[in-house]
Structures are given as structure tokens and as C-alpha cells.
Structure 1
Amino acid sequence: MDLSAGHVWVMISAALVLLMTPGLAFFYGGMTRAKAALNMMMMSFISIGLVAVVWVLWGYSMSGGEGIGQLFGNPFAAFGMQSLLNTEDLIGAGYGATFAIITVALISGAIADRAKFGAWAVFVPVWVTLVYCPLAFMVWGGGLLSAEGAVGSWAGEAIDFAGGTVVHINAGIAGLILALILGKRKGFGKDPAQRPHNIPFVMLGAALLWFGWFGFNGGAAGTAEEAGLIWVNTMVAPGAAMLAWLVVERIRDGRPTSLGAASGVVAGLVAITPACANVSPVGAIGLGIVAGALAALAVGLKYKFGYDDSLDVVGVHLVAGLVGTLALGFVALPLDGAGGGLLYGGGPGQLGAQTVAAVVSVVFTAIMTSVIGLAVHKTIGFRVTEDQEVIGVDLTQHAETAYEFGGLGTGGTFVPHPATDRSAHIKEEVKA
């Protein structure tokens, strides 16, 4: 096989997308309390390891290829990727793995500060197998929601270039379900200590996400012209969303914040994901403005409705994902002078297809995540005890703290813990 420019671009894009998950670790880690930062980051890192193994063994097979009832691919068709050896398909398989990794890592932000790490490690491979892979097959692999599938052929072909339904609506709904299953953190909505502890980490994480997103959206570009459009849209939509978020903050709260700027960038990235190759740059600006403003307003809904979505997975990923997916019904560019969104005279067909795809994704993910989440919660338990939450999940789950100065690692007060109080062992070693 000769290594073409296209192959190289997909490999570079895959590396960019893989970088997004460590970037997410910084983004989420900075938003948590100091005594939960490492646990939050570890939830992203363990997702890389677990999903990578699942993807190679059976996940790739389930997301495409030989279908079973238009719902998922045959997990044994390319088990272990043995049939892909010495073929260029391995490049695409690796690229697909990075999407599965970032999707499940996104969910973790909804249950920050209170989840058992072991329970998360059980949830991840099961959820990827039973939720992500089937939905990816339904949308991208020729399944139910694709143009060839039963729903897609009836409702029309929905556009989801890089993962509005498969990644963001999927992760947003899953995060909401888990937040409801685990319940609220102690002091939710009242304890000021639940504010982000390291905003520079959040800004760094947002920057890494934005950088990696050019590979996330652009890796599947088929032509140089399409790649150029995707690149510009991936630049301008998050920029517009950031500005819109800051305006909302200025009007509502009196001050624009750096946390708002970082969150606005991510909301814009989420919204442009499904639409990156199918809207004009001006359309991307409008999409970013709407997504940034609505997401800024949506993050407050958790206090109104009483669900503890710790790091606003619902407010950012679900809301902006829905905005980006449904907006294509209005602003999708015509293809070869035909079709397109309502604003281009394309009629209601595209909006109908986008709506059906979004609704099916929401219902499927909600049902399956409820089954998996409740099964984990009722068996091994998904939530730490109240005492462990007060001490901090860094100490109780990992026997570590992110900061060892000024008592920051334990929230300002040193709390001895059997796994971390090593002073006695050190003294014995010194005597020896």
C-alpha cells in the first residue's frame, strides 16, 4: 500500500482527536473541586485505555460492516481487526476509535465529585458496546438512521458529518441519565467550594479541544475544497459562540468570565460538529451565536429542575448538539443546486430528517443508558459514600491528591487516610 496524502491526513487527524481527551481531562479537571481533580482527569484517561481495547476487539466491527437488524454490526466480522491487517482500512479504524473515546469521556463531567472509579471502569466498556457502537452504526454504518436504513429512507437522509447525534447528543443524554441515577452532590447549589478550582486548567483544556477539533471535523473531508470550508467553520463558529456566551453573562451577571469564554468555545465546537461541511461561514457564525447564547442559558436549568449535572454536559453538549443538528434543517447548503435547508428554499424535508435522527438518538440513548447505569448502581454501586465525598474522591478512590501544599488536596483540612498516611512507613524505613 502506498501512503497517500489522504492517508497521512487521516492519521494526523486521528492524533489530533486523541489529544482532545487529555485536553478534556484538563478542561474537566480544572472545573472540579481541588480534592476531585485527579479523579476527574483519570476518568478521561481510563476511557482511552478501555475504549481502545474494546474498539480493536469488537467495537470497530459493531460500528460498521455486516449489519444485524440495522441496529449494529456483527461484532465477530472483524474481531481483533485480524481481517484488516495489511490493508489501509486500519487507518480509518484508528480514526474511528478516537471518536468513541472522546464520546464516553464527555459523559464523566456529569457525575464529577461523587462516582466510584471502579464503577466507571465497568460502565465505560459496556456503554461503548451497547450504546455508542450501535448508534454509530445506525447513523454512519448503513444502519437504521442512514439513507439505506428503514428510518432514514422514510424520513430522509439526516446530515451528521462529524457526530452531532453520535457524539454530543449521545453523551449529553447519557450524562443526564447518570446524573439522575447518582443524585446530587452534598451541598449542590449551596456550597461555594463546588466552584471550579483551577480556571487556567479549564482554559488550557479548551485550547487543546479547539486545536484537536480541526482533526475531529476535518479528518473525513473528501476534497481540499471541503477541508477548507470545514477548517474555516471550525474556527469561526466557536469564536462566535464564545462572544455570544460572554454577552449573555454580561447582561445576566454583570461580568464576562474566563470560564464562560472557555465554555462558549466548546459550545460552538459542539454545534458546528454535525454541520461543519454543510453550512457557509456566515451560517457557521449564526449557528455559533445561537448555540453560545442558548448553552449559556441552559447551564442554569440544573438548578431550576434539580438535576446535578456537575460540569454542564447537558447544558453544553446536549443543547448545542441539538442546535447544530436541527439547524441544518434551516441553513444546510444546497447540494448541486438542489435541496438544502429552509433558508435556501429546500423545503421541510431536511428539517424533518434532522428532527427524526435527533429524537431517535435521544430515546435510544436514554433507554440504554438507564438500563446500564441502573444495573451498575444496583449491583456494585456507582456512587461513593457521603463521607468519601466529603474527604474527596482523589484520596478515597486513588490515594492521591492534586496539590500537597496548603491543605488544598483535602479542601483545606488534613484528613488522615489509611492509604495515604505513609508517615509511619517512612519512619520505619529511616530507622532501618
Structure 2
Amino acid sequence: MDTGTTAFMLCCIIGLTLMIPGLALFYGGMVSVKSSTNMMMMTFGAASLVGVLWVLFGFSMTFGTSSGGLVGNITEFAGMKDLLEPMTTVDGLPVSLFALFQALFAAITVALISGAVADRMKFGSWMLFAGLWAVLVYFPVAHWVFAFDGVVTEDSMGGWIANKLGAIDFAGGTAVHINAGIAALAVAIVLGKSLSWGSDRKPHNVPLTLLGAGMLWAGWYAFNGGSALAAGNSAAIVMVTTFVTTCAAVLGWLAVEKLRTGHVTGVGAASGAITGLVAITPACGAVTPVGAIILGLVAGAVCPYAVALKSKFGYDDTLDVVGVHLVGGLIGTLMVGVLASESMPNATNGLLYGGGFGQLWKQAIAAGAVILYSFVVAFAIAFVLKKTIGIRVAPEDEEKGIDAKFHKDGSYELEFA
């Protein structure tokens, strides 16, 4: 057992856990004051539910021995049996710690979707959707992407994207961001537009959103750096590319804001930061620091326009999960095939470094497969829930505010003498 790596991963788990309140604050500050508590509760509720499912069978579905590269053996590690023994992965990391690290990936991915349904989805229906989507979509897709052959036991077989296709996704551009982003689009379509659609929505607390974005930025070093699964040079390089892409994306987003509206905003800075973090997630081990700057500028400039597409096409993605996570994840995933350099930890050359179109094609297949599967299943789950228990709050409750209806504790208690 590598004690240095174990200590490093313990620290990464703390950083990942802080991303849960970070996401809650980021989302909670952007919605109406009447539904801020509900927005934060959707993050905490989804993370808690997925954590329990992960221990019961999710880890086994994701990292158990593969059935045709599609899903792991659901009973192999059910209840995380045998994982509390001093068993190590091939990288010298206790399996129990690796399982916890990956549990937080699952929890955060599911919670990301909630930003598309703010202000109008029943909390109970959201919890059911979150659980079903985790089981039917996230666990299998994470198996495709993250389950390398031999990652848990030396003879275990893993998922098709990681082992057969050979697409590069260092920390979850496909499994996390494209996956959550396209699911957000599906459920937003089924749910329908909010009563305030078409009006100029304003965040109720920009400082909360910026604070949340800052916490997510800090936690993302654990998200990406921890995916190296070792306290070494690869983790250090990944943290550098994560930092510089995020910086460049903020500048790119603010430049577009200035050109389009004549202003730069706090929400724009926060959104730009998250966009950069999303884009670098799959590419952090593949691109050089200069390539990371290019990636950040591209994502920061393109995603504001992607966000604007919801008005053109008429889907109510309240907090821009589609424009930031789906499009940002696509940019990062595809740009691996263009900007990757063999001098970096992934040791692969993209198109600009003489690698041809081969890696770009692999990246496109991986992204396309996740988009197709996740959208279809997410749409089906949301549609069935809509036709059975219902997923939309009553118009009067939406108008009054979800906090008052479902939680009885508003975000603020203000008293004036």
C-alpha cells in the first residue's frame, strides 16, 4: 500500500465533498429567493441518495467485472463486501478509498442535472428521477469510461470506452458533464417551461453564486488531480492545466459578455469558471499548459452563445446546464483529439501534434454514445414519472415559491423594526 498516495486521496475526498455545498451555493444564488432552499436541497438530497445506492450496488455496477463492456457485476461488490479488508488497487490505493472517491463523482454528477429544473419540479419527483437516472444511466456509463481492466482486481474486465475504444477522458468529460448535460436537456423538455419563461430572470444573490463557483474551483483540483490516483507528477500537471484553463475561460466568457451587452457580470465570471473546469476535465492529462489556455478561451467564448440557444429553441434550462456542461464537456472531449500532446500524462498526440484524426474520431464516438444513451433513458424516466406521480408543481405553488410549499424554511428571515 502506498501511504503517500493514500494520504493524497484522503485530501482529495475532502475537496470533493466541499463541491457538494459549492454546487448548492452556485445554483442557490442564481435562482429566485422563493426557491433557493429548494435548489440547494436538490443538491444535498441527490448526493445523499446516490451515496447510499453506491454502497448498496452502485460501486459493483460500475467497477465489478464487466458484462460485455456495458455494466459491471451488480453482486460482486454489493454492500461493498470485502472492500474493508486491506485490499489495494493496482495503484497501491485501498479499494475502499477508491470507492469513496468515485462515490462523490456519482453524487455530484446527478446533482448537476437539478439546475435545469429549478423553480418548478416536485422535490419527491426529483429524488425519484435522481435515483433512477443514477442506476440506469450513471452507473453503466461510468463503467464504460472509468472501469479500466484490472483497476480493482488484477483480473477484472472493464468498460468498452476505456478499454476497447481507447477514448481519453481523464476525469469525466463524457461520464460526468456530457452525461449530466444531455440528461438535463431531456428532463427540461419533459418538464416544460416555467411560468417566468421569457422574462428577465435575475439571480437573487450573486455573491453566493461566486462563492459557490470558488468552492467548486478549489474542489476541482481534487476532482481532476485525484483522478491520477497517485501523488506524483501527473497529478501536479493536471492541477496546472485545470487552473490555467479556468482562468482563460473566465476571460473568454467576460470578453463575450462585454461585446454582446457592454457589461461584465459576476454570474458571467462564475459561469466562465465552471465552463473552463468542465472543458478541462476530460483533457487535463492530455493538453499542455498552452493548449489548456487555448481550450479555456474556446470554451469560454463558445458556451455563452450555447446558453443563448435555449431562447431560440424554446427549452427552459434554468441554470444553463446544457450550455455549460453539455457543450463545455463536448468541447473538452473533442479538443483532446486536436490539442493532445504525447509529452503529457496521457501520452497521445492529437491532430495538431501529428496524430492524425484517429484520436478525434474516438473522442467523437465516445461523446455520441453517451449523448444518445443518456438522453433516451433520461427522457423515458422523466416521461413515466410525469404520467404517473407527476413532476411539475402546481402553478400557484410555483408562483408562491417552492420553498414555502415543500420545505417550510425560506432562505432568509428578515425582520424590520
Aligned residue for 1:117?
123
Match of 1:143 in 2: 159
How far has the Cα of 1:263 moved from its partner? 0.4
Letter in 1 for 2:73: N
Amino acid at match of 2:160: L
Q: Where does residue 39 of structure 2 map in the other structure?
A: 40
| 8 Å CA contact 2:162, 2:168 repeated in 1 | no
Contact 1:10 1:220 in 2 (8 A): no
Which position in structure 2 is the counterpart of 1:11? 10
The one-letter code matched in structure 1 to 2:378 is T
Once the two structures are superposed, the pairs formed by residues 33-432 of structure 1 within 5 Å of their partners are: 33-87=32-86, 88-141=94-147, 142-148=158-164, 152=165, 157-190=166-199, 192=200, 194-221=201-228, 222=230, 224-334=232-342, 339-405=348-414
Q: Unaligned stretches of 5+ in structure 2?
A: 87-93, 148-157
Compute the displacement of 1:203 (Å).
0.4
Q: Which residue of 2 aligns with 1:421?
A: none
Question: 1: distance between equivalents of 2:81 and 2:100?
Answer: 14
Return the TM-score normalized by structure 1: 0.90
Displacement of 1:122 in angstroms is 1.0
Over the matched positions of the two proteins, sequence identity in percent amounts to: 50
Which stretch shifts more, 335-344 or 82-91? 335-344
Contact kept, 8 Å, 1:339 with 1:345, in 2: the verdict is no
The two structures have a TM-score, normalised by structure 2, of 0.93
Determine the C-alpha separation between the residues in 1 that align with 2:377 and 2:323: 21
Q: Which amino acid aligns with 1:145?
A: I
Q: Deviations along 1:138-196, whole A, 9 cap, x unmatched?
A: 11212222223xxx1xxxx1000000000000000010001001000002012x4x311
Between 227-236 and 128-137, report the one with greater CA deviation: 227-236
Instruction: Name the count of aligned residue pairs.
Output: 397
Rounded Cα–Cα distance in structure 2 between residues aligned with 1:9 and 1:260:
33
2:34 partner SS? helix
Residues 245 and 280, structure 2, Cα contact 8 Å, conserved in 1: yes
CA distance in 2, matches of 1:62, 1:114: 32
Partner AA of 1:31 in structure 2: M
Counterpart-to-counterpart distance in 2, 1:116 and 1:327: 38
| Cα distance between partner residues in 2 of 1:406 and 1:338 | 60
Look up the SS of the partner of 1:299 in the other structure: helix
Task: Render the CA deviation track for 1:216-264: whole Å, top value 9, x for unaligned.
Answer: 0000224622122111111110100000000000000001111100100
Alignment CA distance shift 1:339-1:188 (3 Å): same
Q: Deviations over 1:60-99 (max 9, x none)?
A: 0000121123211111111100121213210100000000
**C-alpha separation between the residues in 2 aligned to 1:33 and 1:27?**
13
Give distance in 1, aligned partners of 2:388 and 2:75: 29
2:316 aligned counterpart, secondary structure: coil
